[in-house]
Structure 1
Amino acid sequence: MSTPAPAQGKSPFLLLLSVGLTLALVVAAVIVAVSLTGGHDSRTGAAPDAGGACRGSNVALDKAAQRFRLELPADAKDVHYLAQSGGLSGEYNLEMRFRTTAAGLQHFLTGSGFPKLSGDEHVLRAGQPDADPCRHDSEGLAHAQYAGDQAAGDGATHGAYVRGIAVDDSDRARPVVALIAMDT
């Protein structure tokens, strides 16, 4: 049995160089693709659509609000939300931010059944809500008060979930509410 003759005119150095350049081009292409698509978090820098939904939402806000027993105030403005079904933590996940009035805030807290706001961040049950879920940004809540709760669910129409809110009332006439809620 004869062994094949080495390729004429091909040095091992040129072969290694061509493989190295090919790998470098592949890595560069991946880096460019990731930077153009925003990486793993499709929300980074994304503006909400006309209805306030962040990119990645696949559930309507009213359905998600009903799921987590939230009564949004009629005067809610600048609503941004990320509502998803089929997430890793359960059937539904909701992240939301909106601006309201002092009366709207009271309606939301009472109607949604949240406990009294506290300066203690440890009352949150579901984690720190983002100031803007579309931009995945926790900055912007200058003077936050917190509340959190959990529900065991009734087994028939509602499963167990946790909710947490942060309220920035540095402008008492126009407080900002940031919320996170998820099935457990």
Structure 2
Amino acid sequence: MGRIVRAAEEEFKIAGYSGATTAAIARRADVTEAQLFRYFASKADLFREAIFTPLNQHFTDFLASQLADADNVVSQRERARQYITELQSFLSDHSQMLMSLVVAQTYAPDTTQGVGSIDSLRAYFDRGAATMSGRIQGEARVNPKLMVRVSFAAVLACVMFKDWIFPSGLAGEGEINDAIIDFVIDGINANSD
């Protein structure tokens, strides 16, 4: 079964959800389609296992590393900078898998059952909102649950669509990353005094 899942992950990364076929996945795993269907009832089930399960684990691992490293940085701004840098790196490292989700959600929305089903992504958002709420004194101008999602979306979009958003020659990689970090930190600070 593990071989089939690994083959499916590779095939979905290369061909996307629409282009990947169970026949191609079976060939890549060196099994028959009948063997593949003994473990997975459909291409959609295989997609969920090959893409959602590893992505869920990546988010869980990332969340655990954030908790472990939370006390290693002195200032709140520097902690936020480190956190956003790690988030950029994480998203960049997993951009192919994330793009597979975007394409599947666009062209076959019934197969993904919504990205919201990634448990650790929900936990990530909840933890971020709780952290933001803990720093706010008084009434928040922007709901922390909304703010953490908007911040994540901004970083995700800038990483996933970097070539579209930042044309060659506009700025160097470091400048772009710093601009993203400063933008997100300033947005988060909308709830600060």
TM-score (norm 1): 0.25
Looking at both structures, which has the greater relative contact order when contacts are Cα pairs under 8 Å and sequence separation is at least 6? 2
TM-score (norm 2): 0.24
